[in-house]
Chain A
Amino acid sequence: MTAELVAAYAVALTLLIGSFFTLVGAIGLLKFNDSMTRLHAPTKVSTVGVGMLLLASIIHSFAFGEGAVHEALIMALLFVTAPISAIFIAKVNIHQRDCNMPPELPGDELWATLDVPDADRETEETERA
């Protein structure tokens, strides 16, 4: 009986922590006023926020039903996909000049996003104008 009680408190606590970080992520998304700083919000939500909610689900399944660790797969999938969506959003921001431009590189190097052929650069500039 007490074990179940401890498990129930643990589930409640992890749920609260998880939802707190998810809430902070949402506040950050609303509060910041620049597309690059805003990008930092979703990377938070997908780590500790979702991680804690999934941990609650694991504890609950072990304490009150059949144990299951499927959630580890969800976590793994998030860890693999979150950086990819983040880098794509960042690249679009740089491409559209929506943010402060990144610093110049030494020598002839260019950032991959800005390294476009001259013909494409012309179409790009006429489209933006």
Chain B
Amino acid sequence: MIRLLRWLFPHPFLTVLLVVVWLLLQNTVSAGMVVFGLILGIIMPQTTAAFWPERPGGVRVGKLFVYGSIVIWDIVVANVKVAWVVLTVPNSKLKPAWIVIPLDLRQPEAITVLAGTITLTPGTVSADLSASGHYLLVHVLHTDDPDGERDEIKSRYEARLKEIFL
């Protein structure tokens, strides 16, 4: 039974995502649409399974939701801050900086989410990963305290992601 389920749903989260996307595209929630979405959600992971040989580990959904809310709040706050920098700080006084973040995360999915979060929060852009994947390079638009910025990213985002990705 478990083997059948594993064969049917190689990536359960992908299946759920496909059903939700299908319902959003149709803009209706009806039994027929859910069934059709499920058919897509079974066929598409099956046919693309060859590109994802490893099953990704589990995710703590509740904590992921909390993380998403924190990120959205941070995006709004940082947007206002960066808009202020763009409009008021002249180019000559701008203090851009590179910061290097030593990563404790090892799962590729978790590092991708961290890099994406850093880019989406205005003021910081993740620019590169070290060859072994143990350091992340981040460019900051305007900062007086690069070390503080690094510690904040580590404690605010990375620590939470470590708990989310099992």
Contact = CB atoms under 8 A, between A and B. Distances in A.
B75 A73 contact: no
B120 A47 contact: yes
Given A21-B79, A70-B25, A112-B129, A86 B98 contact: no
Contact of A90 (B82, B116, B125): B125
B122 A40 contact: yes
Contacts of A37: 94, 96, 141
Main secondary structure of the interface of B (DSSP, over half): mixed
A70 B86 contact: no
B87 A27 contact: yes
B155 interface: no
Interface string A74-94: 000001101100110011011
Band of interface residues on B: 35 or more
B8 interface: no
B41 interface: no
A86 to B, nearest CB: 5
Contacts of B122: 40, 43-44, 47
Contacts of A91: 127-128
Main secondary structure of the interface of A (DSSP, over half): helix
B79 A44 contact: yes
B132 interface: yes
A102 B137 contact: yes
A68 to B, nearest CB: 5
Interface of A: 20-21, 24, 27-28, 31-34, 36-37, 39-41, 43-44, 47-48, 66, 68-70, 72-73, 79-80, 82-83, 86-87, 90-91, 93-94, 100, 102-103, 105, 109-113, 115
Interface of B: 21, 24-25, 27, 75-76, 79, 82-83, 86-87, 91, 94, 96, 98, 100, 115-116, 119-120, 122-123, 125-132, 134-135, 137, 139, 141
